[in-house]
Structure 1
Amino acid sequence: MALCQLFIFALVVTAAGSLDVGFYDKTCPHLEIVVRKVVQKWFLKDKSAPAGLLRLHFHDCFIRGCDASVLIDSTEDNIAEKDSVPNLTLRGFDLIDDIKTSVEATCNGVVSCADILTLAARDAVALSGGPDYSVPTGRRDGLVSRIGEAKLPSPQFSIDQALGAFTAVGLNLIDLVTLLGAHTIGFVHCGFFSDRVYDFRGSGMPDPAMNSTLATLLKAKCPPPNQIKNISLDPKVFFDQTKRNPFTFSSGFYRQVLKNRGVLQIDQELLNTDVTSNLVVEYAANPDFFKAEFAKSITKLGSLSVLTGVDGEIRTNCRKFNMNANGN
């Protein structure tokens, strides 16, 4: 590992502070069993649930760190993160509520919503065929959730733009390439990419970097950008348009990118630099290596700027601050 990468990793470990695998061993010993049981119940009903949880986890950790701020509902006094445009298509809130209810019935007032979301994301990956990694816990829930702070990397970003957003929160280029591999499962709303198939950069033509067959297929499924009025209600397509089971976690995402079949612009942008394209080739050829690296990067993501000790709170309800909290 390069010296700069070791330095970044050291910063993240330091920031994580008191996070520890088995943090709840004495206070809530059956926590992980309870969480996985609920995630599995939802997974059996909806194979797309893991993709929703992964995205929910990412959107939470990218703003203010992993503090469950994305779960907060807006009030008359405060418009929360979840009502920002990038978050309007998030899913999984009801699933997290279900887990919280089950956890509270077992260990009242002990486990944070931030830890529940992080554990649920891990279980989602494992149930989809991805790595089953250890999750350090001990996070506390945040006291702030504001719509104006919900600034996330755009699907239209270049690699340089995306890297700028990632490094700003403590992630690096390897994490960027690796975490985009989550696009191996689930679906995406047409509004996030329809410009690529209809009018790429005002050209009136599809993005030349997109496989022409894929562009034709997506155009048949998605309306033009000017006909999309509500991104949360527009049609959806699978990220992977080729495999029989689009809900299986694999390195297939990278094989599709190599064939110019990345649905989002940022996905296809991975071939535009030597470092990222080389990693795409390596992940495509070595699925086990990809899964091992994904476990490292998502664990690192889950440790960003966490609240521990006496900071923050343990919410009673994941959707709202406790009565003594100030969320304005």
Structure 2
Amino acid sequence: MCGASSAQLSPAFYANTCPNVSTIVRGVVEKARENDARIGAKLIRLHFHDRFVNGCDASLLLDDANGKDSEKNAQSNLSTYGYAVIDDIKIALENACPDIVSCAHIGALASQILVSLDGGPTWEVQLGRRDSRMANINGTGASRKPRETLCAHTFGSARRIVFSHRLYNFSGTGKPDPRLDPKYLRSLRGRCPDENSSFLNELDPTTPNGFDNNYFTNLKRNSGLLQTDQELFSTPVAETVAIVERFAENQSDFFESFGKSMIKMGNIKTLTGSNGEIRLNCRKVN
């Protein structure tokens, strides 16, 4: 955490300069959601991947430029989507409040609004961040994404490549992952009959587009799609087992904790004051 910079953040940061910022963002994402039920999962994932490089600074949104590689080129970011919606939000904000709202805030506000629209909690987004002038592709990598972000897997989908090893040849055994519920395994194999097939599978087979605590009840039934998710409950003596039990029993507890974690993560390495800039186009520096 960076206490000095986070102290400058406030939910009311744009109260005088762009008072309708949340309304404008909501208008764009509601329209996007009409055309894509998975846009909430896509944008919160994009938001997470931006946060855990240099903090919430919109560095992930930058395209290749001046011989510098975009973070989008990193292996862990090749499956991030929703950039066009970010562009649409930025255009709308520039029309209403030119040179005021950072791209870093677009992801934060859009994620909060979409999680709420999909049935999840709401929280006060801390505003006042500025945008980075550089990307950091060397700072990307799956190992830098903490497990705590995985509970957002209550909605969205995953590519076959990230879970196929659990269906047919787990750890080189020629057998499936023994932790997979047999009924769930049969269902996945039915949709993915051979190791060469390709498709997207819902992370939560019960409420795939809803934000709720079914993620945790699925883990208790050994029906977590991703190995990294299932390990939160199936790893012997793991501290996360108690957390899974707790959130599976109490959705309100999960929602409250999720909102608090989003605020805390948003305070990581923030650019404020004269640091960074307010990009006019989220894909390039000014």
CA offset digits 1:135-182 (Å, max 9, x no partner): 0100110111133221123xxxxxxxx8xx64xxxxxxxxx44x3221
Aligned letter for 2:255?
K
Aligned to 1:298: 262
1:259 aligns with 2:221: yes
Indicate conservation of the 8 Å contact 2:53/2:136, yes or no.
no
Q: Please point out which of 121, 130, 136 is paired with 1:140.
A: 130
CA distance in 1, matches of 2:202, 2:3: 35
The residue correspondences of 1:275-294 to structure 2 (distance < 5 A) are 275-294=239-258
Identity across matched positions, percent: 38
Aligned residues: 284
Per-residue CA deviations over 1:59-80 (Å, capped at 9, x if unaligned) read 0001110000111112361221
Q: What are the Cα deviations for residues 292-317 of structure 1, in whole angstroms up to 9, with x where unaligned?
A: 11100111112211111110111010
Distance in 1, matches of 2:142 and 2:266, equals: 16
Q: Structure 2 vs 1, CA of residues 197 and 39 (structure 1 numbering), >3 Å: closer, same or farther?
A: same
Q: What does the per-residue CA deviation read over 1:19-65, in whole Å, with 9 as the maximum and x for residues that have no partner?
A: 11110111111111101111111112211000001100000001110
- Distance, in Å, in 2 between the alignment partners of 1:276 and 1:286 is 15
Matched, 1:71 2:61: yes
- When the two chains are superposed, the root-mean-square deviation of aligned CA atoms in Å is 1.7
Of 177, 187, 205, 2:175 maps to 205
- Amino acid of the residue matched to residue 305 of structure 1? K
The answer (yes or no) to whether the contact 1:59–1:152 under 8 Å persists in 2 is no
Match of 1:325 in 2: none
Is contact 2:5-2:271 (8 Å) kept?
A: no
Q: Which residue of 2 aligns with 1:236?
A: 200
* 2:132–2:276 Cα contact (<8 Å) kept: yes
What's the secondary structure of 1:143's corresponding residue?
Answer: coil
| 1:1-328 alignment, distance < 5 Å | 11=1, 13-75=3-65, 77-153=67-143, 166=146, 176-177=147-148, 179-222=149-192, 227=196, 234-241=198-205, 243=206, 245-271=207-233, 272=235, 273-322=237-286
SS at structure 1 position matched to 2:51: helix
Give 1:259 deviation, angstroms.
0.4
**Counterpart residue identity of residue 126, structure 2:** P
Question: Where in structure 1 are there 5+ consecutive unaligned residues?
Answer: 1-10, 154-161, 167-175, 229-233, 323-328
Q: Which runs of 4+ in 1 moved over 3 A?
A: 11-15, 222-225
User: How big is the shift at 1:223?
Assistant: 6.7
Structure 1 pair 270/69, CA: closer, same or farther in 2 (3 Å)?
same
CA distances 1:173-227 after superposition (whole Å, capped 9, x unpaired): xxx44x32211111111111111112111111111111122222223333766x4
CA distance in 2, matches of 1:182, 1:130: 10
Distance in structure 2 (CA, Å) of the matches to 1:278 and 1:81: 35
Query: Contact between 1:194 and 1:223, CA under 8 Å: does it hold in 2?
Result: no
TM-score in terms of structure 2 length:
0.94
* Distance change >3 Å, CA 131–CA 311, structure 1 → 2: same
The letter for the 1-side match of 2:130 is R
Aligned equivalents of 1:247, 1:67: Cα separation in 2: 27
Cα distance in 2 for partners of 1:152, 1:63 equals 11
| Residues 209-266 of structure 1 deviation map (CA, whole Å, 9 limit, x = unaligned) | 11122222223333766x47xxxxx41000112x2x4111100000000000001111
Q: What TM-score do the two structures reach when normalised by structure 1?
A: 0.82
Q: 1:223 and 1:58, CA in 2 relative to 1: closer, same or farther beyond 3 A?
A: farther
Asked if the contact 1:197/1:215 (under 8 Å) is kept, the reply is: yes
Give distance in 2, aligned partners of 1:57 and 1:150.
13
Task: Measure the CA separation in 2 of the matches of 1:320 and 1:65.
Answer: 18
